[in-house]
Amino acid sequence: MSVQAIVSSGPKVMRVAVVGVGLVGSEFINQLLNFPTPNPFRIVTLTSSKTTLHAPDGLNITPDSWKQSLAQASLRPDFPFLLRELAALVKPGEPVVLVDNTSSNAVAALYPQFLRSGVHVITPNKKAFSAELSLYESIVSASLASGAKFLNEATVGAGLPIISTLKDLVATGDQVLKIEGVFSGTMSYIFNEFSTGQEGGPSFSSVVKVAREKGYTEPHPADDLNGADVARKLTILSRCIPSLRSSLPDGYQSVSTKSLVPQELEGIDTGDEFIARLPEFDDHFNKMRADAAKENQVLRFAGVIDVASGTIKADLEKYPVTHPFATALGGSDNIVMFYTARYGARPLVVQGAGAGAAVTAMGVMSDLLKLV
């Protein structure tokens, strides 16, 4: 199918370039194409890891046709080309948006250049906002210089309003005292199943194995169990708090993080071998569960940002069986509690599905709607 340009109509047109067409990217594209009329969005670019479709006035695609059109495209991904093309489209009243649905470091590193050119950036990609402080500061300064915005709600909690809630608290003058939450859908599922307040239960290795089979973990479960995902999310949130913005010079690597990967398994190359050997360490995890149960507590992998002390940590913590982290969570839910001067005695709580393509794409879509 050939790609034909279509002339945009209507008073408000937003040109959207979508990079990354995996699970989240595909869901986002379909949400965009199915947006109720009048649809202000014109998809001008689709880029996969192999091919690119581009038409400055909008691609002639439908929910049923875009995958085939992209697969047959002759253009190869070329980000300098994309930057030049999108920058040329920026005009007063006609915003241009780059939506990065990848997890690529290379794309994240280009955000300052897109922003400096006046192109807005929306993304669920955690890399840019949790890396070294210098990249984050480049993003902020580029945004301030051009007026182009960067929005990244879906980097923490998928479609849950976690970043926007924190930004609203800060912008309205509330004093954020502490943020505490179960930020990883994978870790949430594992410990909801493993630690229920009883001394016994399924083995840790069997729970991780099932989580992997259900698609809750990365192909290599160590990528979840090392706590880096939670550390990245804590970095992103801490940089929304003025007094902590510069506290993590090396990004997520500056966060105090407890890895649950046994030291003996740290060099295991494949997920299959990791799963095969994890039962060797079940006694260790069983003892932790039993010790917590004797104290009427459960184990949860939580993230904490304590503003007063400057403590930012991701660790396996014990909570009373009556705590919301024990009673309110199910499946792969996230839950985040904001303790502030206004919400002191009873924290502001955001809770719900924290993983999945549909809700993550919704978070991306909600950011896009903020620009309309």
What does the block give as tokens for 181? 């939450």
294 is catalytic: no
Q: What are the start-end ranges of the E strands in the chain?
A: 14-19, 41-47, 52-54, 96-100, 120-122, 150-151, 176-182, 256-257, 297-306, 311-320, 333-340, 348-353
* Alpha-carbon distances of 27 from 34, 36, 107, rounded to whole Å: 11, 16, 20
What does the block give as tokens for 128? 């840019």
Q: Taking a C-beta distance cutoff of 8 angstroms, is the pair 302, 136 a contact?
A: no
Greatest alpha-carbon span in the chain = 68
Q: Name the burial class of residue 213, with classes exposed (0-12), middle (13-18) and buried (19+) by CB atoms within 10 angstroms of its CB.
A: exposed
CA Rg value for the chain:
22
What span, in angstroms and rounded, lies between the C-alpha atoms of 86 and 82?
6
Q: Taking a C-beta distance cutoff of 8 angstroms, is the pair 92, 147 a contact?
A: no
* Side chain identity, residue 184: S
Q: Which of 127, 209, 233, 318 is catalytic?
A: 233
How many CA atoms are closer than 13 Å to the CA of 261, on its beta-carbon side? 21
Sheet-wide strand order for 333-340: 256-257, 311-320, 297-306, 176-182, 333-340, 348-353
Active site members:
233
